Chain A
Amino acid sequence: MSENPADLTASELVAAFKAGTFSAREIISASLARIAERDASLGAFTDILTERALKTAQKVDEKRLRQQPLGALAGVPFAVKNLFDIEGIPTRAGSKINRDMPPASRDAALLARLEAQDAILIGGLNMGEYAYDFTGENAHDGPSRNPHAIAHMSGGSSGGSGAAIASGMVPLALGSDTNGSIRVPSSFCGLFGLKPTYGRLTRAGTFPFVASFDHLGPFARSVGDLALSYDAMQGADPDDPGQAHVSTKLTTPSLHQPISELRMATLGGYFHQLATDSARQAVARVAAALNVTAQGEFPQAARARSAGYLITMTEGAALHLERLQTRREDFDPDVSNRLIAGAMLPAAWIVQAQKFRGWFRSQVATIFENYDILLAPATPYRAPLIGQKTIDFDGEEQLVRPNIGIFTQPISFIGLPVVTVPIWTPGVTLPIGVQIIGAPWCEDKVLRVAEVLQRQGVCYAPIAPFTASIPSK
């Protein structure tokens, strides 16, 4: 085990803390030192809560000294995307405008649940403005950079979450995923990310983007950490009317169960045709490791993406209309231009898109009668350069920003649970992710499959070697 607690996963830290190897104060101090060393180059954090973190660490240390029962995440430092309410701070959601809002009166529900398990909040993380972003670039707070290659995107919109985990600043972070904002940074930064089933986790105390699609979930460097944190966050919350009424289903107890009985297939069609060779090879590597030979296909996946695209434009526009009317100059134009366009679209299009959503859900449900797990690329390519606007895709120049999410959007459109697992190629610096997709409410199955892949060494999430220099423009 490393002598530096900042190198450990959350699960390793819990064991080390409970065994007395490190105090919570030592763990937090190591995390803060790592942040001080690396964050200036990486742009992961927007708020570092040193005083709060050390105070909480002291309380957790005192609990251990008094031999009081310790939570499942005791001593683990974590950070949250800055659309999560943090008591005493305005919830900026990546924007300039929200900084003028009053400070949050209490912590977001998921943040509170992690702290109830004695995890320790270190700070708030950078994100794409109002979550309408796949790049991790923020016009007000600067870009979050990919720790594996700092001239490249971290991915977004949970860019700071991706950068903070991949650089070893914290072992656990929370993000949100509307159309891909956990899965894209996981793919680009080489991490494990969990997007649970839509409606599984409470969204109370977070700034929204698209109520029809917003999910919240964890990033980590191990599947065990995803399971541990996800289990801690489950449970009904009367403060979230959008939460589904489903029983808690813990995933940690079954995480190491065999997966031989799970029926698996690779998604072809749209998910193969639109992928680059690197994305296809990543899926092929996972399929080979799992002995998957079957292929399935989502009917009309492109149409699902289109429907999701339109709903996103219009729900986002409706949410921000007043801000667009009164403070448009304070938006990132890349965001406001899309929102203004969204405000123009006919309502009939959106009702049609929502009807199609019901149809698509029932079609995909028939696929899950034959398969438990489906595999697909997370992103069409590895992380582009920061600021890159177009990319050569099969000989055609395409816009980067809207197309990064072509494989994530049809999946979250119907709220399926996904773990993104990182795949590396020898000699290639940047990773690329694969989506392990399950039927609704089957987070346990997707986590079990990801755990096997990690145990086999097919997927792993190393801390990136640190380089302090930011490339010149």
Chain B
Amino acid sequence: MTDTENEKMLDAMLPVVGITLSPSSTMNSTRSQVLLHIAIAREHAARLFATSISDQLEPAPVFTPSEPPHE
């Protein structure tokens, strides 16, 4: 994703999660810093998805409805 696509993602999601940011794009502005962290997250996601994982793997943690009854 390019910087522009990161910006589009940010602008689309901010109202969805109920957060507003000033449109300022100076280097130390909140918007710029958030975009920096989105870019870092995307690098991590790219590494995570670099190879596939079995469909059979349970996502940890596994939910337990309640303690199983003692038999």
Contacts and interface: CB of A to CB of B under 8 A. Distances in A.
Contacts of B57: 355, 358-359
Contacts, number: 95
A303 B45 CA distance: 9
B68 to A, nearest CB: 11
A342 B33 CA distance: 12
B38 to A, nearest CB: 5
B37 A338 contact: yes
Chief secondary structure at chain B's binding surface: helix
Nearest to A241: B64
Contacts of A352: 48-49, 53
A401 B50 CA distance: 25
B48 A310 contact: yes
Nearest to A402: B40
Nearest to A324: B19
B30 A343 contact: no
Given A303-B48, A337-B33, A340-B19, A355 B41 contact: no
B65 interface: no
Interface in B37-70: 37-38, 40-41, 43-45, 47-50, 53-54, 57-61
B-side interface size class: 20 to 34
B43 to A, nearest CB: 8
B17 A354 contact: no
A134 to B, nearest CB: 15
Given A333-B30, A337-B30, A355 B53 contact: yes
Contact of B41 (A302, A309, A333, A357): A309
A239 to B, nearest CB: 15
Contacts of B47: 302-303, 306
B33 A313 contact: no
A-side interface size class: 35 or more
B13 A343 contact: yes
A303 B50 CA distance: 9
B58 to A, nearest CB: 6
A353 B59 CA distance: 8
Interface string A341-377: 1111100010111111111010000000000000000
Given A357-B60, A359-B53, A359-B57, A341 B41 contact: yes
Contacts of B14: 344
Question: Which of B18, B34, B49, B53 has most A Cβ within 10 Å?
Answer: B34
Given A343-B13, A344-B9, A356-B53, A306 B44 contact: yes
A398 to B, nearest CB: 11
A328 interface: yes
Contacts of B50: 303
Nearest to A328: B19
Given A333-B30, A356-B48, A361-B60, A325 B37 contact: no
A321 B58 contact: no
A307 B48 contact: yes
Given A324-B19, A325-B18, A356-B53, A341 B34 contact: yes
Question: Which of A336, A338, A341, A351 has most B Cβ within 10 Å?
Answer: A341
Nearest to B28: A333
A343 B19 contact: yes
B19 A306 contact: no
Question: Which of A305, A324, A328, A343 has most B Cβ within 10 Å?
Answer: A343
Given A354-B60, A355-B53, A361-B60, 4 more contacts: A309-B44, A337-B34, A344-B14, A345-B41
21 contacts: A212-B60, A306-B43, A306-B44, A306-B45, A310-B41, A310-B45, A313-B41, A325-B17, A328-B19, A333-B33, A336-B30, A338-B37, A340-B21, A340-B30, A341-B41, A344-B10, A352-B49, A354-B60, A355-B59, A356-B53, A358-B59
Interface of A: 212, 302-303, 305-307, 309-310, 313, 321, 324-325, 328, 333, 336-338, 340-345, 349, 351-359, 361, 402
Question: Which 4 pairs between the two chains have the least Cβ-Cβ distance?
Answer: A341-B37, A306-B44, A354-B59, A337-B33
